[in-house]
């Protein structure tokens, strides 16, 4: 075959469910020359990454680290280390990633019980309490920010509820971390996983995780080996300890990226960052509603960083997304599962949660909708967003 030309893709504005655009400072950090994975300088960088992850997760958990892999490796790390054959797991399913939790938990050999809500809805403590009382599971697994529906699941009451039944609380914070509060210690979360490519403004490739002392004790009481050698925390913890026992070659450049991404989160401040995401969400939402679109999640349960809206009747999903991409360089996501062909998913995560992005997107979407036959007052989306910013 002929030698391909040097890589030079057309720039995109990534406003889908992830990845989002990396922060320019993160990209600069990734140009740092490589170190060996056991170099003292790299080991000190890893110590700093762990310390910053504790601050961003709002936890004192000693076992807090980035797993070498995408967000799904974080999910699998939690499941395979906490569950073994014969254990009971309770999974809350109200979207695609709740379904994925069911799949991964089932592969551990655990007996999985599923409680469900319609896609776009969230769970109330009463429904969860009834299931906990009935199942008495080792672990309750739930998605905080359901990427497929844009629904924001409250977590704050679940830790105390789980402790009533001696159950571990496992949460998916893949789309939450760095965008909305994830208060691990305050909420009594026992295991949490996220990703690098959304709210933390990095490329995909690392999955931050954190485990409470209760979760660590559960791992130490296992009767069988962890099903995955690569994700076995009993081995990985030896690399993090004083002896630094070799496990695998850490992705050096991705850890440079995460170090800078976390540093930027803490430099901005968690509260300020959450408020920025909320402010830009409100402006985007005002614009989308003015153009006649509606959200898939209920009022009060809509994620600020992942806006899932119903496609207007008669509008071709793929045609609009192709138009946005080819003519404006903007990528948004289509629906998954029950919402396939029925919804668009618009991400305002991390570096992309900015007023100029909101206004650019609304102007581009208005033109695409008009050409697709949808009727909206000209300029209504941008005007409504500007009014929201001025309020």
From CA 207, how far away is CA 29, in angstroms rounded? 18
Q: How many domains does the chain have?
A: 2
Within-domain flag for 88: yes
Same domain, 213 and 356: no
Contact 300, 154 (CB under 8 A): no
- Average pLDDT value for residue range 264-279: 98
Is 9 within a domain?
no
Spatial distance between the Cα atoms of 188 and 141, rounded to a whole number of angstroms: 13
Contact 166, 114 (CB under 8 A): no
Here the tokens at position 307 are 């806006």
Task: For residues 317 and 332, state if they share a domain.
Answer: yes
pLDDT for residue 62: 96
Q: What is the mean pLDDT of residues 314-326?
A: 96
The pLDDT, as a whole number, for residue 141 is: 98
Per-residue model confidence (pLDDT) at position 241: 75
Span 131-155, mean pLDDT?
98
From residue 238, how far is each of 210, 220, 233, 245 by CA, in Å?
Answer: 16, 14, 8, 5
Does the pLDDT of residue 13 top 90, yes or no? yes
Distance separating alpha carbons of residues 201 and 20, to the nearest angstrom: 7
Paired with 306 in beta bridges are 347
pLDDT tens digits for range 77-115: 999 999 999 999 999 999 999 999 999 999 999 999 999
Specify the CATH number for the domain of residue 148.
3.40.640.10
pLDDT at 375 over 90: no
Kindly state the tokens that stand for 51: 């310390």
Confidence at residue 245, expressed as pLDDT on a 0 to 100 scale: 82
The secondary structure of residue 225, as a DSSP letter, is -
353 token code pair? 């949660």
CA distance 297 to 307: 9
Whether the upstream peptide bond of residue 318 has omega within 30° of 0, thus cis, is no
Say if residue 276 is in the same domain as residue 249. no
Strand 191-193 with 206-211, pairing:
antiparallel
Say yes or no: 133 and 233 in one domain: yes
Pick the last residue of a domain from 246, 267, 288.
267
Stretch 341-354: mean pLDDT, rounded? 97
What's the sign of the alpha-carbon dihedral 180, 185, 186, 192?
positive
**Domain range for residue 54?**
24-267
Residues 64-81 have a mean pLDDT of 97
List CB contacts of 1: < 8 A, sequence separation 6 or more: none
- Quick check: is 11 in a domain? no
Nearest to 281 by CA among 312, 306, 310: 306
Is 7 among the domain residues?
A: no
- Structure-block tokens of residue 145: 């920010």
Co-location of 216 and 295 in the same domain: no
Asked whether residue 93 falls in the same domain as residue 241, the answer is yes
- In angstroms, the first-to-last Cα distance of the chain is 59
In angstroms, rounded to a whole number, what is the distance separating the alpha carbons of residues 173 and 108?
A: 21
Residues 6+ apart with CB under 8 A from 175: 17, 18, 145, 146, 147, 198, 199, 303, 305, 306, 349
pLDDT of residue 230: 96
**What's 288's domain CATH number?**
3.90.1150.10
Helix (H) or strand (E) holding 350: none
Residues 261 and 274 in one domain: no
The answer to whether position 4 is within a domain reads no
pLDDT of residue 318: 96
Query: Contact, 227 vs 108, CB < 8 A?
Result: yes
Kind of pairing, strands 145-146 and 151-152? antiparallel
* Residue 2 covered by a domain: no
Q: Given a cut of 90, is residue 355 above it in pLDDT? A: yes
Beta carbons within 10 angstroms of residue 386's beta carbon: 18
Domain end, chosen from 240, 267, 294, is at 267
pLDDT in tens, 182-232: 999 999 999 999 999 999 999 999 999 999 999 999 999 999 999 999 999
Confidence of residue 149 (pLDDT cuts 50, 70, 90): very high
Give the model's pLDDT for residue 242: 75
Asked if 62 and 93 sit in the same domain, the reply is: yes
pLDDT above 70 as % of the chain = 100
> Tell me, what's the pLDDT at 246?
82
* Residue that finishes a domain, picked among 247, 267, 287: 267
Cβ atoms within 10 Å, residue 99: 20
Can you count the helices (H) and strands (E) in the chain?
14, 14
In angstroms, the CA 117 to CA 128 distance is 11
pLDDT digits (tens, 9 = 90+) for 233-258: 999 988 877 778 888 989 999 999 99
Question: How far apart are alpha carbons 355 and 312 in whole angstroms?
Answer: 25
DSSP 8-state secondary structure symbol assigned to residue 117: -
**Same domain flag for 245 and 329:** no
Residues 253 and 127 grouped into a single domain: yes
Q: Residue 309 — φ and ψ, nearest 5°?
A: -125, 150
Q: Are residues 357 and 382 in the same domain?
A: yes
Percent of the chain's residues with pLDDT above 90: 94
316 and 259 within one domain: no
Write down the mean pLDDT value for the chain: 96
The pLDDT score that the predictor gives to residue 243 is 77
As a whole number of angstroms, the distance between CA 244 and CA 210 comes to 19
């Amino acid at each position: 075959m002929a030698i391909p030309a040097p890589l030079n893709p057309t720039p995109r504005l990534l406003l889908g469910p992830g990845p989002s655009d990396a922060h320019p400072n993160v990209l600069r950090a990734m140009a740092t020359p490589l170190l060996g994975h056991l170099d003292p300088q790299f080991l000190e960088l890893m110590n700093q990454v762990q310390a910053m992850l504790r601050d961003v997760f709002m936890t004192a958990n000693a076992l807090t680290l980035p797993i070498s892999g995408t967000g799904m490796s974080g999910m699998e790390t939690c499941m395979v280390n906490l569950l073994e054959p014969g254990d009971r797991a309770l999974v809350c399913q109200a979207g695609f990633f709740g379904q994925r939790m069911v799949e991964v938990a089932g592969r551990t050999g655990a007996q999985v019980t599923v409680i469900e809500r319609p896609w776009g809805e969230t769970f109330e403590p009463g429904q969860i309490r009834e299931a906990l009382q009935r199942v008495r599971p080792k672990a309750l697994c739930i998605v905080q920010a359901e990427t497929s529906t844009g629904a924001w699941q409250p977590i704050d009451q679940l830790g105390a509820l789980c402790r009533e039944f001696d159950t571990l609380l496992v949460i998916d914070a893949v789309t939450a971390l760095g965008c909305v509060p994830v208060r691990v210690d305050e909420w009594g979360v026992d295991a949490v996983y996220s990703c690098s490519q959304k709210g933390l403004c990095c490329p995909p490739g690392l999955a931050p995780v954190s485990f409470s002392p209760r979760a660590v004790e559960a791992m130490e009481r296992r009767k069988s080996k962890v099903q995955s050698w690569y994700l076995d925390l009993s081995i990985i913890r030896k690399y993090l300890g004083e002896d630094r026992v070799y496990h695998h070659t850490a992705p050096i450049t991705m850890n440079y990226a995460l170090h800078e991404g976390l540093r930027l989160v803490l430099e901005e401040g968690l509260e300020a960052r959450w408020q920025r995401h909320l402010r830009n969400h409100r402006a985007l939402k005002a614009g989308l509603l003015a153009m006649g679109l509606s959200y898939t999640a209920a009022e009060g349960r809509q994620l600020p960083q992942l806006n899932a809206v119903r496609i207007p009747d008669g509008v071709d999903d793929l045609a609009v997304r192709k138009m946005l991409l080819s003519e404006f360089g903007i990528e948004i996501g289509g629906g998954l599962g029950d919402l396939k062909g029925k919804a668009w998913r618009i991400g305002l995560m991390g570096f992309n949660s900015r007023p100029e992005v909101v206004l650019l997107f609304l102007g581009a979407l208005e033109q695409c909708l008009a050409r697709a036959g949808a009727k909206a007052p000209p300029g209504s989306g941008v005007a409504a967003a500007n009014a929201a910013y001025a309020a």
